Structures are given as structure tokens and as C-alpha cells.
Amino acid sequence: MAKIMGGLEGEPLDLDFHFPNLTHLKMDASTAYQIEDSLSMTNLPKLTHLSISSSTNISEMIENYHTPHAGITSLHVAGTFNPEDGNYAVVKLVNLFPAVTEFKLNVAIEFIEYAYSGEYIGRKDVQTQNILPLKETLQSLGGWELTCGGDVEVKFEYVVRGYSFEELDAVGTAVLQGAAEWKGLGNTCLKFVVTWVGETYKLLDGMRDALLSCGSIRRVTWEGFEMDEQDSIELNSFIGENNVPVSVPDPGWLNDLWTD
């Protein structure tokens, strides 16, 4: 497997390569390179597995991909979603890689404000942002059958005061609504992730309706979230009544802590 790492400052490098026997290619910080037409069947005729990742939004990351590659069957894309940037160009992925049967998507949700210098200055409310591009990003990826599986991870980046129930509901609803019409939905797992202790979750109407519209999805999981006992009971009742494939946060250790 060839691995190309970025991290360069200034203008992206033009990248022109010919590897007739290469089957796996991984590119980090993809915006450091101008791929142009190098990622093609002509230059990489045996390439089947492609992984591209960057700390920028997905639209910027793939803007220099132009030539379709019909040999790639496994695709991994990792990037960010910032509602001010928009990810409309993601629609190109299905056109660029029409033969994909296995797809992994990692999206970091960033509602964080930085000064021009890069200094952290606060966070924006999700409710004040236009998150329609997030839904459209997921909708644009629905053309693959994903017979070998789909794996979507939505990670909430740490913010000082956490997210409200309404904000988590808005983001989760946009993701599920975007994936509802995927051809490969039945083979797809979706995971919402937080990496800090203390973020709580409660099922609201938006996510409730969106989960019902994605009833054929393979699995939906919340990882790292906490729930109080009553909210957990209500969510489990919803799951049982509607037979939706959801794994819920376990509140047991929290209850044990407070009752000891």
C-alpha cells in the first residue's frame, strides 16, 4: 500500500504518478496535492482501495479529482463538516468512483469559531447554522449498493459547553434524512460519537421521525453519550414498539454512582 502524507504550507503540489501494480492508496491531508488526472485507470489500473482524509471539509478535499476510476471498490473518506463551508461537491464521489461496494465515511462536526490567527474564541449554536448541506452531503452518496457494507461515523468535536438536546437532534436528523434513500441503507451502520465525558442525549421528535424513515438501516449507535434513566426507558420503549435497530447509551453506571 502506498501512503502519501501532506502537511505542506502554501500552494498544493501537482502530483503525477504511474503505479501499474498498486492496489491500495492512502492519502492524508489530501488538499496538499493537486491530483488532477493522475487518479485514473490509465495511471493506476489495479487500484481497488482508496483512502483520502483531511482536516478540511470534504468539498475542498475532492475538488481536484476529475477523472472517474471504475476499478475502486473500497473507498474511505474522512473530513469535516462546517456549515459555513458547505459540502456540495460530494455529489461527485458517486460519479468518480461508480464501482464502490464498500464505503466508510468519517465526518467531524465543527461548530467552533476561530480567530484569523487560529486561536479558539468560542462556539456557534447549531440552531443558528444552515445544516442543510449536511443532509445534502449524505443524500449525494446514495447511489451505491454497498453490497460489502457502509460505515458512517459522525463525531462531535469538543466544545466548551457541550451540545443541547435540540442541537444534537438537529444534526442527527439531518444525517438520517440524508441517508434515508440510500440504495445500500440495509448494509449501512451509522454511529454518533462524542469523546468527552458528560455529554447527555435525549430522543426528540426530529430524530424519532428520522429513525422511522431509516427503518431498514443495519444499525444506529450512540457512542460516548450518557442518558438519565427515564430518557433511556423511553428510548428503549420506542425501539421496541417500532423495531428500529438502535443501540442506546447505557445509564446503569451513572445510576449506580449516584445511589452508592
Burial of 260 (0-12, 13-18, 19+ CB in 10 A): exposed
C-alpha cell at 178: 440524508
Full-model pTM? 0.86
C-alpha cell at 121: 474564541
Say what percent of the chain tops pLDDT 90. Answer: 41
Q: Give 107's pLDDT tier (boundaries 50, 70, 90).
A: very high
- 88-99 per-position pLDDT tens digit: 555 578 889 999
Average per-residue pLDDT in the chain? 81
- Which numeric CATH code is attached to 2-259? 3.80.10
Radius of gyration over alpha carbons of the chain, in Å? 20
The structural domains of the chain, with segments of one domain joined by +, span 2-259
From CA 15, how far away is CA 164, in angstroms rounded?
A: 44
pLDDT greater at residue 85 or residue 33: 33
Predicted confidence at residue 44, as pLDDT, reads 92
- 66-94 per-position pLDDT tens digit: 789 999 999 999 988 876 655 455 557 88
3-state secondary structure string across the chain: CEEECCCCCCCCEECCCCCCCCCEEEEECHHHEECECCCCCCCCCCCCEEEEEEEEEHHHHCCCECCCCCCCCEEEEEEEECCCCCCHHHHHHHHHCCCCCEEEEEEEECCEEECCCCCEEEECCHHHCCCHHHHHHHHCCCCCCCCCEEEEEEEECCCCCCCCHHHHHHHHHHHHHHHCCCCCHHHEEEEEEECCCCCECCCCHHHHHHHHHCCCCCEEEEECCECCHHHHHHHHHHHHHHCCCEECCCCHHHHHHHHC
Q: Which of 107, 105, 63 is nearest to 82 (CA)?
A: 107
